[in-house]
């Protein structure tokens, strides 16, 4: 290419690069978004999260998952929090959510405290992003700087929740696709799956795996069959990390190495394919997992936020005005 043509193209290239990096890094959001308008926002959320986990340890996992289920459906916009009513159907009864997602009372409590300190300033979507980080930290995991300034949606989409939240029956390539459509990489997918080092799944979510999968430790499967019979006990809970479901460590990956992943989707990450090396690396070097997890959480939190005049700041996280 001749020099003259190159100089002509340079500003265009710079523009493309800048706008791409704005999209990728979600620069519309910023860590100090509330530093003047609600300086206590971060400490109020943290206090609420810690009190909730002290009352019920599992709540940390439940709050982390709420942020994920929010972000994968039309971006991190608090849509998952909207209640159904006579004229509105939200996401709470979508297949991956119904009878499964929890933590709404904790979010309500935190929101009420925020409304007392700074009315109509802090969004419900941001509460979820901060609560996810504070939960992980409290349970022993890595920390990261949460970018803020998301606004809340006026609506929700149950069909989109059914389409975009990955099911535990997915294979490796379908898992990769479901993260790729959100702008998340294969490595992000493997690292974020490490969330399953905490929390619980219902029998109905892992039944097909323990009865039909072959890549499962036989005595592990047999002990689970006692808890989770072929056609009963749908709601009986089992730790996703069978050893330390209340502690954010890297055991999730070690479990996969010995075929003790609880969900079919978990074990897909160690099945002789492209994710094996990451699972081995995260098992061997917890700090690699923590670093990649924190990076991926920031990326997930940047998925299509509503900013500027879009959406609103809800007063009640369960209802759009
Ligand atoms: C890779 C695809 C994923 C699939 C297929 C998946 C699927 C599931 C399923 C089926 C459950 C149990 C639900 C139930 O039986 O009630 C669950 C629980 C959980 N998931 Fe995932 N998940 C995925 C990724 C993620 C990500 C990216 C995060 C967070 C960033 C996450 C966080 C959690 C947590 C913390 C729990 C436990 C919640 C609790 O105990 O209340 N998951 N997941
Ligand atoms: C504490 O946790 C229990 C469940 O273990 C729940 O029923 C109760 O509402 C929680 N209390 C508060 C104040 O969050
Ligand atoms: C959600 O779960 C409830 C209780 O298990 C059930 O009655 C209802 O039909 C479910 N809703 C949908 C949309 O699946
Ligand atoms: C809801 O999501 C589905 C699946 O992505 C999409 O086809 C549909 O147009 C959405 N509905 C609305 C009202 O945006
Ligand atoms: C993964 O699942 C998808 C969707 O069900 C299917 O089309 C594909 O063939 C599967 N891939 C492999 C390698 O099994
Ligand atoms: C994951 O999906 C992306 C986007 O479709 C693709 O480029 C990449 O090769 C896939 N990676 C693996 C390991 O399947
Ligand atoms: C196991 O697979 C068979 C054949 O696909 C199916 O009929 C059965 O319902 C599956 N069992 C469970 C517990 O999912
Ligand atoms: C399955 O797990 C049991 C109990 O931890 C262990 O004793 C056994 O060696 C494992 N089986 C295989 C094939 O690894
Ligand atoms: C039903 O919920 C929607 C979404 O939160 C809200 O916009 C609407 O005002 C609610 N309707 C009633 C009667 O509360």
Nearest CA owner, ligand 1 atom 14: 201
Spell out which residues line ligand 3, taking CB within 6 angstroms.
Answer: 93, 98-99
Q: What is the pTM of this model?
A: 0.94
Q: Is 56 close to ligand 2, i.e. is its CB under 6 Å away?
A: yes
Question: 């929700």: which residue's tokens?
Answer: 156
Q: How far is the CA of 228 from the centre of ligand 7 (A)?
A: 14
Cα–Cα distance measured from residue 288 to residue 123, given in angstroms and rounded to the nearest whole number? 32
Spell out which residues line ligand 4, taking CB within 6 angstroms.
Answer: 157, 159-160, 163
Q: How far is the CA of 306 from the centre of ligand 1 (A)?
A: 24
Please tell me the predicted confidence (pLDDT) of residue 131. 99
In the annotation, is 69 catalytic?
yes
User: Which ligand minimizes its atom distance to the CA of 93?
Assistant: 3
Cα–Cα distance measured from residue 298 to residue 26, given in angstroms and rounded to the nearest whole number? 9
What are the CA-CA distances from residue 321 to residues 30, 129, 158 (Å)?
26, 22, 19
Q: Is 177 close to ligand 5, i.e. is its CB under 6 Å away?
A: no
Nearest CA owner, ligand 4 atom 4: 160
Cα–Cα distance measured from residue 108 to residue 103, given in angstroms and rounded to the nearest whole number? 9
The residues near 48 (Cβ < 8 Å, ≥ 6 apart) are 106, 109, 110, 113, 131
CATH number for 28-165: choose from 1.10.10.10, 3.40.50.170, 1.10.490.10, 1.10.520.10. 1.10.520.10
Q: What is the DSSP string of 67-84?
A: HHHHHTTTSSSSGGGPPP
Cα–Cα distance measured from residue 151 to residue 77, given in angstroms and rounded to the nearest whole number? 6
H-type helices in the chain, by residue range? 3-25, 41-55, 59-71, 104-117, 124-138, 158-164, 172-180, 186-193, 203-212, 218-227, 251-257, 264-267, 276-284, 286-301
Section 66-70 average pLDDT = 99
Spell out which residues line ligand 7, taking CB within 6 angstroms.
Answer: 207-208, 211-212, 230
Section 133-137 average pLDDT = 99
Q: Is the pLDDT of residue 308 over 70?
A: yes
Section 264-288 average pLDDT = 98
List the helix and strand counts (H, then E) for the chain: 14, 2
Question: 């409590």: which residue's tokens?
Answer: 109
CATH 1.10.10.10 fits 172-296, yes or no: no
User: Which ligand minimizes its atom distance to the CA of 171?
Assistant: 5
Nearest CA owner, ligand 6 atom 8: 186
Q: In this predicted model, what pLDDT tens digit does every residue of 142-195 receive, in sequence order?
A: 999 999 999 999 999 999 999 999 999 999 999 999 999 999 999 999 999 999
Give the pLDDT band (50/70/90) at residue 31: very high
Give the pLDDT band (50/70/90) at residue 27: low
Burial code (b: 16+ CB inside 10 Å, e: under 16) for 255-269 equals: bbeebbbbbbbbbbb
Please tell me the predicted confidence (pLDDT) of residue 171. 98
Tell me, yes or no, if the two domains 28-165 and 172-296 fold the same way. no
Per DSSP, which regions of the chain are E strands? Answer: 200-202, 237-239
73 is annotated as contributing to ligand binding: yes
Q: How far is the CA of 179 from the centre of ligand 4 (A)?
A: 18
Q: Is 317 close to ligand 9, i.e. is its CB under 6 Å away?
A: no
Q: Which atom of ligand 5 is nearest to the CA of 170?
A: 2
Contact 137, 143 (CB under 8 A): yes
Nearest CA owner, ligand 3 atom 12: 93
What are the CA-CA distances from residue 191 to residues 188, 243, 282, 291 (Å)?
5, 19, 8, 9
Q: Is the pLDDT of residue 43 over 90?
A: yes
Cα–Cα distance measured from residue 45 to residue 63, given in angstroms and rounded to the nearest whole number? 12
Q: Which of 79, 89, 160, 320 to mutate to test the pocket of ligand 4 (most atoms within 8 A of CB)?
A: 160
Q: Is 82 close to ligand 9, i.e. is its CB under 6 Å away?
A: yes
Cα–Cα distance measured from residue 269 to residue 250, given in angstroms and rounded to the nearest whole number? 14
Q: Is the pLDDT of residue 6 over 90?
A: no
For 140, left (φ over 0), alpha (ψ -120 to 50), or beta? left
- What mean pLDDT value characterizes the chain? 93
244 is annotated as contributing to ligand binding: yes
Query: For the chain, which residues make up each domain, given as ranges?
Result: 28-165, 172-296
């Amino acid at each position: 290419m001749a020099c003259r043509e190159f100089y002509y193209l340079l500003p265009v290239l710079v523009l493309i690069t800048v706008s791409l990096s704005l999209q990728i890094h979600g620069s519309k959001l910023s860590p100090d978004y509330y530093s003047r308008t609600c300086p206590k926002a971060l400490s109020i959320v943290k206090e609420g999260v810690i009190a909730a986990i002290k009352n019920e340890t599992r709540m940390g996992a439940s709050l982390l998952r709420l942020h994920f289920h929010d972000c994968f459906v039309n971006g991190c916009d608090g849509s998952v929090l909207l209640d159904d009513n006579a004229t509105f159907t939200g996401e709470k009864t979508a297949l991956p959510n119904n009878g499964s997602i929890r933590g709404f009372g904790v979010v309500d409590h935190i929101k009420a405290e925020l409304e007392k300190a700074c009315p109509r300033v802090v969004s419900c979507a941001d509460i979820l992003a901060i609560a996810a980080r504070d939960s992980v930290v409290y349970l022993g995991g890595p920390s990261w700087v949460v970018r803020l300034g998301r606004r809340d949606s006026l609506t929700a989409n149950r069909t989109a929740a059914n389409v975009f939240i990955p099911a535990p029956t997915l294979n490796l390539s379908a898992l990769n696709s479901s993260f790729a459509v959100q702008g998340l990489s294969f490595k992000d997918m493997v690292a974020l799956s490490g969330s399953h080092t905490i929390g619980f799944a219902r029998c109905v979510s892992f039944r097909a795996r323990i009865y039909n999968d072959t890549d499962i430790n036989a005595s592990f499967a047999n002990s689970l069959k006692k808890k989770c019979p072929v056609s009963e006990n749908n709601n009986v809970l089992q730790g996703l990390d069978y050893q330390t479901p209340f502690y954010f460590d890297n055991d999730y990956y070690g479990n996969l190495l010995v075929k003790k992943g609880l969900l079919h989707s978990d074990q897909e990450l160690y099945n002789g394919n492209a994710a094996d090396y990451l699972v081995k690396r995260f098992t061997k070097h917890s700090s690699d997992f923590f670093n990649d997890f924190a990076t991926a959480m920031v990326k997930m939190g940047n998925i299509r936020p509503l900013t500027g005049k879009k959406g609103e700041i809800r007063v009640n996280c369960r209802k759009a005005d």
